Amino acid sequence: MNDIKSKVAIVLICTILGMILAVQFKTVENTIGSGTITTQRAQQLAIDYKRLQDERDSLRNELDNLEAKLKQYEKGEAEKDVYVENLYRDIEKFRTLAGYEDVQGPGIIIEINDPPAEVVIGGESSIIVDNYDFILQIISVLNATEAEAISINEQRYTSFTEIVPAAGHLEINGVSYGPPFVIKAIGKPDDLENSLRIKHGLIWRMENLLNLDIHIKQEQNIVIPKYRKIKEFRYAKPVEEASN
Amino acid sequence: MSNQNNSGIIWLIILSILLGVLLSLQMKQNIDDYDLVSLKNIQMMKNEINNIRKEIDDIKELTENKKKELEKLKTVIDDEDEDISELLQDEIDKLKLVSGLEDVQGPGIRIIIDDNKDEAVVGEQINDDIVHDADIQIILNDLRKAGAEAISINGQRVMSRSEIKCGGPIIRVNGRSSAPPFVITAIGDPKLLYAAINAPNTHGWLLREVHKLRVEALMKDNVYVPKYYWAEQDFKYAKPKKEGE
């Protein structure tokens, strides 16, 4: 008699356990979303991303080849005539100023990284992304020290470059980058580094108030890539001489 | 009888423990999986894919442009009557416009930013009532985000090479000092530019509503932005990258 009673009890408990488990799994699935589909979707996205990256790289190569060819022609013509040669020099100069030319020269490389993981409070946010205005300030200091060309993570800093924070990333010239951020500047290396490192200056504040991990090194030959976007003015028109 | 009952209970305990271990293992695995592909990650990935698409479009357009340029150059070189210098001069004019070496005008906005002139100090420190170089930099960044084509501060064209630096009571732009109030002029779509300063949670809004600074933006049909005064006209350090390096 006692035996039957306990067996019934066990059956009952097992049934309840099964139901509770089923309910639990259902709720988890409902709140997070179906696991298998998301994983597949993420993989699909990753594949797309890789494919697009490859496509971009090959297109970029094509463009570079084309530009090299164009340059050869221009240079070939320039050698024939002093006047044309001067014009060509001007073009090169203005291209460098506008950022449409790869440039190289001595300068410094600044690498900014988030603090080591233990110090970070909170999840996926990045301290340097949240405080992106410090990057703007670094650029300003570099410019004050007469940097001649600046890039952030291989994106040339031009008069139209915007820095937009978005979900742990910064979009620079419309391209997303996560930390670390590498700022390159061409100019007089000593001056550039010293102006950033003045006592209680910008770098000091970033290191001590934000705990960021910053490395600066001087180099004799830094290559800064060109700006790869078309900029055509839709609103701004040159002022006609006559109207003045 | 009691002996048999005991062994049954022992079996039950062993099986229950096994069930528990298996369940927890199963749960752990599932949760790991979910963690890897959070919704935020997917959103970020999508974002990046969109950006890269845009970049590809840009490169394609640029390639088309260059192809046309090359064609033109070839015909000019082949044709004895035409002069290549004209073509180069055109290119120079275009570059000068884009690089900010020309005075430009067009629709845009004018923004006036000034310190908080009230006697009472709003923030905890007097610093909160003053316009800082960082504030101006963020506002300029916001304007570029909104597609500003040309920007000047107190008559100084803002370029990629322009510094905006505090120097005591003044701010230096292009090596020239200017004191508040700061007048920022930007050419672009006036509505977009206006929104970049006035929409809630933009930096301009923050300065006005929280720090009580004077931030006024006016949409204009025609504003004038002067050219960048490029004194040295040359680069000391930056040289064009040589071929094959």
Query: Pick from A98, A117, A152: which residue ends a domain?
Result: A98
Do A144 and A117 lie in a common domain?
yes
A47 touches chain B (CB under 8 A): no
* C-alpha–C-alpha distance, residues B53 and B171, integer Å: 40
Q: Is the pLDDT of residue A32 over 80?
A: no
Do A93 and A112 lie in a common domain?
no
A140 touches chain B (CB under 8 A): yes
Whether A37 is covered by a domain: the verdict is: no
Query: Which residue's entry shows tokens 């062994």?
Result: B7
pLDDT score of B245? 43
Instruction: Report chain B residues whose CB lies below 8 A from the CB of A45.
Output: 42, 45-46, 49
Q: Is the pLDDT of residue A231 over 80?
A: no
pLDDT higher at A78 or B205: B205
When mean pLDDT is compared across A201-205, B39-43, B137-141, the lowest value belongs to B39-43
Whether A38 is covered by a domain: the verdict is: no
Whether A242 is covered by a domain: the verdict is: no
Q: Is the pTM of this model over 0.90?
A: no
- Amino acid code (one letter) for B32: D
What residues contact residue A157 under an 8 Å CB cut-off, 6+ apart? Answer: A99, A139, A149, A150, A151, B160
* C-alpha–C-alpha distance, residues B101 and B84, integer Å: 23
The answer to whether B118 and B212 have CB atoms below 8 angstroms apart is: yes
The answer to whether B208 and B133 have CB atoms below 8 angstroms apart is: no
Cα–Cα–Cα angle for A22, A27, A30, rounded to 5 degrees: 125
Whether A187 is covered by a domain: the verdict is: yes
A178 touches chain B (CB under 8 A): no
Q: In chain A, whose CA is at the least distance from the CA of B134? A: A137
Q: Where are the domains of chain B?
A: 39-98, 104-225
Query: Pick from A74, A98, A122: which residue ends a domain?
Result: A98
Express each pLDDT in A135-194 by its tens digit: 998 998 898 888 889 999 889 998 888 888 877 788 888 888 887 899 999 999 998 888
For chain A, the C-alpha Rg in angstroms (whole number) is 29
- The distance of A215 to chain B (nearest Cα, Å) reads 22
DSSP string, B205-224: HHHHHTS--EEEEEEEEEEE
pLDDT score of A244? 42
* C-alpha–C-alpha distance, residues A98 and A160, integer Å: 10
Ramachandran assignment for B174, one of left (phi > 0), alpha (psi -120 to 50 degrees), beta (any other): left
A239 touches chain B (CB under 8 A): yes
Do A93 and A109 lie in a common domain?
no
Cα–Cα–Cα angle for B213, B215, B217, rounded to 5 degrees: 175
Which A-chain residues 73-132 have CB contacts (< 8 A) with chain B? 73-74, 77, 81, 83-84, 87-88, 90-107, 124
The answer to whether A83 and B85 have CB atoms below 8 angstroms apart is: yes
DSSP string, A118-148: GG--SSS--HHHHTTHHHHHHHHHHHHTT-S
Query: Pick from A40, A65, A98: which residue ends a domain?
Result: A98
Do A68 and A153 lie in a common domain?
no
Whether A141 is covered by a domain: the verdict is: yes
pLDDT score of B129? 66
Name the domain count of chain A: 2
Whether A24 is covered by a domain: the verdict is: no
* C-alpha–C-alpha distance, residues A30 and A12, integer Å: 27
The answer to whether A169 and B44 have CB atoms below 8 angstroms apart is: yes
Is 0.90 exceeded by the ipTM? no
Q: Which two tokens stand for residue A219?
A: 């180099």
Query: Which residue's entry shows tokens 């410094």?
Result: A108
Do A141 and A214 lie in a common domain?
yes
pLDDT score of B185? 92
- The distance of B218 to chain A (nearest Cα, Å) reads 17
Do A166 and A114 lie in a common domain?
yes
* C-alpha–C-alpha distance, residues A132 and A127, integer Å: 8
Give the H/E segment covering residue A109: strand A103-113
Long-range contacts of A6-11, Cβ-Cβ distance < 8 Å, separation of 24 or more: A10/B12
* C-alpha–C-alpha distance, residues B111 and B228, integer Å: 20
Contact A167 B43 (CB under 8 A): yes
What count of other Cβ atoms lies within 10 Å of the Cβ of residue B1?
Answer: 7
Contact B66 A70 (CB under 8 A): yes
Whether A122 is covered by a domain: the verdict is: yes
Name the CATH superfamily, with its identifier, for domain B104-225: Protein of unknown function DUF881 (3.30.70.1880)
B151 closest CA partner among A135, A136, A159, A222:
A159
Q: What is the dihedral of CA B109, B155, B177, B165, to 10 degrees?
A: 40
Contact B85 A10 (CB under 8 A): no
Which B-chain residues 91-120 have CB contacts (< 8 A) with chain A? 91-92, 95-108
Query: Which of A34, A97, A228 to mutate to probe the B interface, most B CBs <10 Å?
Result: A97
The average pLDDT across B171-185 equals 85
- pLDDT, chain B, mean: 80
What 3-state class would DSSP assign to B241?
coil
Instruction: Report chain A residues whose CB lies below 8 A from the CB of B196.
Output: none
* C-alpha–C-alpha distance, residues B84 and A87, integer Å: 10
B127, with CB counted inside 10 A (0-12, 13-18, 19+), is exposed
Do A87 and A176 lie in a common domain?
no
B52 closest CA partner among A171, A52, A61:
A52
Do A110 and A217 lie in a common domain?
yes
| DSSP, res A164 | E
Which of the listed ranges A197-201, B122-126, B146-150, B200-204 does the model predict with the highest average pLDDT? Answer: B146-150
pLDDT score of B70? 84
What 3-state class would DSSP assign to B34?
helix
Model confidence at B120, pLDDT cuts 50, 70, 90, reads low
Instruction: Report chain B residues whose CB lies below 8 A from the CB of A42.
Output: 36-37, 41-42, 45
What residues contact residue A182 under an 8 Å CB cut-off, 6+ apart? Answer: A109, A110, A111, A112, A152, A153
What 3-state class would DSSP assign to A41?
helix
Which B-chain residues 18-77 have CB contacts (< 8 A) with chain A? 23, 30, 33-34, 36-37, 39-49, 51-56, 58-63, 65-67, 69-70, 73-74, 77
Q: What is the CATH number of the domain that holds A176?
A: 3.30.70.1880
* C-alpha–C-alpha distance, residues B143 and B195, integer Å: 9
Q: Is the pLDDT of residue B128 over 80?
A: no
Do A84 and A117 lie in a common domain?
no
Whether A4 is covered by a domain: the verdict is: no
Q: Is the pLDDT of residue B113 over 80?
A: yes
Q: Is the pLDDT of residue B39 over 70?
A: no
Domain range for A66 is: 56-98
